[in-house]
Amino acid sequence: MPFGRPLLPAMRQDRGGAVLLAGLVALSVLVPLLNLAVPPGSPWHLSTYWLTLLGKYLCFGMLALALDLIWGYAGILSLGHAAFFSLGGYAMGMYLMRQIGTRGVYGDPVLPDFMVFLNWHSLPWFWTGFNHFWFALPMMALAPGGLAFVFGWFAFRSRVTGVYLSIITQALSYALMLAFFRNDMGFGGNNGFTDFKDILGWDLHADRTRVALFVVTAVALAVSYLVCRAVVDSRAGRVLRAIRDAESRVRFLGYRVESYKLWVFVGSSVIAGLAGALYVPQVGIINPSEFAPINSIEAVIWVAVGGRGTLIGAVAGAVLVNYAKTYFTGALPEVWLYALGALFIGVTLFLPRGFMGLVPGTARLIPADGPRGAGRPIRSELGVSAEGKAK
Amino acid sequence: MSGPPPELLGGKALTLTNLTVSFDGFKALDGLTLTVEPGELRCIIGPNGAGKTTMMDVITGRTRPMSGTARFGPAIDLLTLSEPEIVDVGIGRKFQKPTVFEQLTVFENLELSLWGDKSFWRSLTTRLRSSQRDYVDDILAVIGLASQRETLAGTLAHGQKQWLEIGMLLMQEPELLLVDEPVAGMTPQETDRTAELLTSLKAEHTLIVVEHDMDFVRSIARRVTVLHEGRVLAEGDMSQVQNDPRVIDVYLGA
């Protein structure tokens, strides 16, 4: 759906997207009803536990969408997207910490508990403004977007591609994790932020607030989907796919490949950051382990499982894998990591297009053939692409 | 869109004078002097290592010569321009190995090759104007792929990919086309079709074709230049060249 085309006719052509949007609308109606209107004793009641889980899945769906935009369409495999997710989450966390006020353990009206504990006497300069939502909100996009801009500007200008880029995104996330673990960084060290009280004056522990957060997340996911769809359906989207397949040829046509990669990378990191910002008030905690490499890798698995280069496949993969994770870690906790590994290997070997490859009519979106096609996501990205070898 | 033929604009001749390129002492070009008139279809032949590809590299700005000049028309000094600037002044090059965007349709391949603003923000919002759409369809007809408009380029036959690549060059509306081994690996039918295509282009474009296939060269060229060891060995029409004893000695006889 290129920008400026009416929404409805465009959705008619994008059946997968229509299904996703319809599903999100249904969830936004049903979830509040089943949680708030149906009494807790009824078999139709949706517990707050499940409400929170569903909200989490949708946040992960946004993260997967962001990753698919750059990996599925531009061939940029980021193994550090959890960093952008976490930065958005920390920006939200800083706002929520400032809302605690005198209700903290130490009752300091300005300083969060961990600062009092560390014997700090004033807020560090970078906490300025985070007591205002109007300031914190743009920061949830600007912090991850700014980092992505600086990182991408250097990486893409130096023409770092393929496996090398993946490794340095991983290193970036790991470095941030180590930094955020340090107490003197001013972000709560290994405990991070927790014990939030309210958001915009609404009690975070009230079901109504949680339902509202869920609906906001569903809307954010829908809007993110429409933005990503508009980008990949525009001419810029076709240039990105061309970059994925034959980067130097695109450059030869006169396109500034670096700038295309940079802007789509920044856009993707902003979506990831907003997903993190919505995630934190729902799960009630953010700490440095969110930066852990395994989180970024899991997000890549969601996209691969769902079907790379399809957008909706990424969202479906995120929800599916995380539901499986919830189930396994509850029923058979010791099996989960093996199951995840087996799923990933199985999908790579037998379903190169992910589960979306099983849906008829999507072949045009996700071709499986071609030496550097999207169909062999892992093998072609992890170091053996012809483009990578030449460099 | 494609404007009047270059001859009406007083089209530009390509003039190479005394070009010398040396790689670690090996002279890939050794005082090469060559002129190609506007609207001409010139074939360049010569054994491996004769300097054909290096000559193309110098014209397109990929390689800088140690000495000599390369001019496009009286005013443009190619040696001072960067690769994209050379594309801008109207020189397009088709490489030996076709690189089309396999996951895009034939139409989309041509669309991305369209002349115009190529910045990210522009291409995010731009739509094809109907005149541009018509131009793409014109080129599709010229390269004979009109019925493959919506086909993924990756599924085209080898010859069709070569034509698509020529089409992508034409989208940039070049005045001078450099074509490297267009019929390598083609079936006889594809070769014939390519000969027709290149011949049909020479009215509005100047073409330089490097090719090994002698039958093909005979079928398209009026003027042939034979390169040998970085210099022009002989120049003339095909029969003159073929009967030149020096040429027979180094190339055709072999």
Report pTM.
0.86
Q: Range with the lowest mean pLDDT among A100-109, A130-139, A222-231?
A: A100-109
B76-77 and B67-72: which strand pairing? Answer: antiparallel
Residue B19 host element (H or E): strand B14-23
* pLDDT beyond 90 at B9: no
Q: What confidence tier does A369 reach under pLDDT thresholds 50, 70, 90?
A: very low
* pLDDT beyond 70 at B178: yes
- Coil, strand or helix: which one is A256? coil
Tokens 């729902």 locate to A282
Phi, psi angle pair for A46, to nearest 5°: -100, 120
Task: Determine the pLDDT at residue B244.
Answer: 87
Q: Which residues in chain B are contacts of A4 at CB distance < 8 A? A: 125, 127
B230 and B32 in contact (C-beta within 8 Å)?
Answer: yes
Q: What is the pLDDT of residues A264-319, one digit of tens each?
A: 999 999 999 999 999 999 999 999 999 999 999 999 999 999 999 999 999 999 99
What is the C-alpha separation between B123 and A257, in angstroms, rounded? 13
Q: What confidence tier does A188 reach under pLDDT thresholds 50, 70, 90?
A: very high
Task: Determine the pLDDT at residue B74.
Answer: 86
What's the CA angle centered on B128, arms B125 and B132, to 5 degrees? 145
Where are the strands (E) in A208-362, listed by range?
285-286
Rounded to the nearest angstrom, the gap between the alpha carbon of residue A252 and the centroid of all alpha carbons in its chain is 33
What is the C-alpha separation between B179 and B251, in angstroms, rounded? 21
Instruction: Note whether B154 contacts A367, CB cutoff 8 Å.
Output: yes
Helices H, strands E: what count in chain B? 10, 10
Q: What is the pLDDT of residues B70-85, one digit of tens each?
A: 999 888 999 999 887 8
Encoding tokens for residue A333?
A: 């906790």
Query: What is the fold of A7-390?
Result: ABC transporter involved in vitamin B12 uptake, BtuC (1.10.3470)
CA end-to-end span of chain B: 46
Task: Determine the pLDDT at residue A7.
Answer: 59
Average pLDDT over residues B148-170: 92
Task: Determine the pLDDT at residue A10.
Answer: 64
Task: Determine the pLDDT at residue B75.
Answer: 86
Kindly report the average pLDDT of chain A as a whole number: 89
Task: Determine the pLDDT at residue A361.
Answer: 62
Average pLDDT over residues B128-144: 92
What is the C-alpha separation between A138 and A383, in angstroms, rounded? 36
Instruction: Note whether A253 contacts B111, CB cutoff 8 Å.
Output: no
What is the C-alpha separation between A306 and A366, in angstroms, rounded? 12
Among candidates A3, A244, A253 on the partner chain, residue whose Cβ is nearest the Cβ of B113: A253
Task: Determine the pLDDT at residue B1.
Answer: 40
Encoding tokens for residue A338?
A: 């093996």
Encoding tokens for residue A344?
A: 């990933």
Instruction: Note whether A245 contacts B152, CB cutoff 8 Å.
Output: no
B91-94 and B176-180: which strand pairing? Answer: parallel
Closest to B220 in 3D by CA, of B236, B240, B242, B202: B202
* pLDDT beyond 60 at B96: yes
Domains belonging to chain B, first-starting first, are 6-252 (3.40.50.300)
* pLDDT beyond 90 at A362: no
Nearest CA-CA distance, residue A372 and chain B, Å: 9
Task: Determine the pLDDT at residue A388.
Answer: 36
Task: Determine the pLDDT at residue B83.
Answer: 83
Among candidates A234, A244, A249 on the partner chain, residue whose Cβ is nearest the Cβ of B124: A234
B14-23 and B176-180: which strand pairing? Answer: unpaired
> Which chain A residue's Cα is nearest to B151?
A364
Instruction: Note whether A246 contacts B168, CB cutoff 8 Å.
Output: no
Q: Determine the residue among B120, B122, B129, B169 to mutate to test chain A binding: the one whose Cβ has the most chain A Cβ atoms within 10 Å.
A: B120
Average pLDDT over residues A124-148: 96
Q: Does A369 touch chain B (CB under 8 A)?
A: yes
Nearest CA-CA distance, residue B248 and chain A, Å: 38
Higher pLDDT, residue B177 or A377: B177
Among candidates A231, A238, A253 on the partner chain, residue whose Cβ is nearest the Cβ of B104: A238
* pLDDT beyond 50 at A186: yes
Rounded to the nearest angstrom, the gap between the alpha carbon of residue B20 and the centroid of all alpha carbons in its chain is 21
Q: Which residues in chain B are contacts of A373 at CB distance < 8 A? A: 102-103, 154
What is the C-alpha separation between B70 and B77, in angstroms, rounded? 6
What is the C-alpha separation between A168 and A147, in angstroms, rounded? 13
A244 and A255 in contact (C-beta within 8 Å)?
Answer: no
Among candidates A3, A244, A255 on the partner chain, residue whose Cβ is nearest the Cβ of B118: A255
Per cent of chain A over pLDDT 70 is: 89
Q: Which residues in chain A are contacts of B101 at CB distance < 8 A? A: 241-242, 245-246, 249-250
B195 and B219 in contact (C-beta within 8 Å)?
Answer: yes
DSSP A136-192: HHHHHHHHHHHHHHHHHHHHHHTT--HHHHHHHHHHHHHHHHHHHHSGGGSS-GGG-
Calculated CA dihedral for residues B138, B139, B145, B149, nearest 10 degrees: -70
> Which chain B residue's Cα is nearest to A2?
B125
* pLDDT beyond 60 at B220: yes
Q: A-B interface: how many C-beta pairs under 8 angstroms?
A: 81
Count of CB atoms within 10 A of residue B146's CB? 13
* pLDDT beyond 80 at A363: no
Average pLDDT over residues B201-220: 87
Q: What is the pLDDT of residues A60-71, one digit of tens each?
A: 999 999 999 999
A204 and A99 in contact (C-beta within 8 Å)?
Answer: no
Phi, psi angle pair for A3, to nearest 5°: -55, 140
Average pLDDT over residues A356-366: 65
DSSP label of A333: G
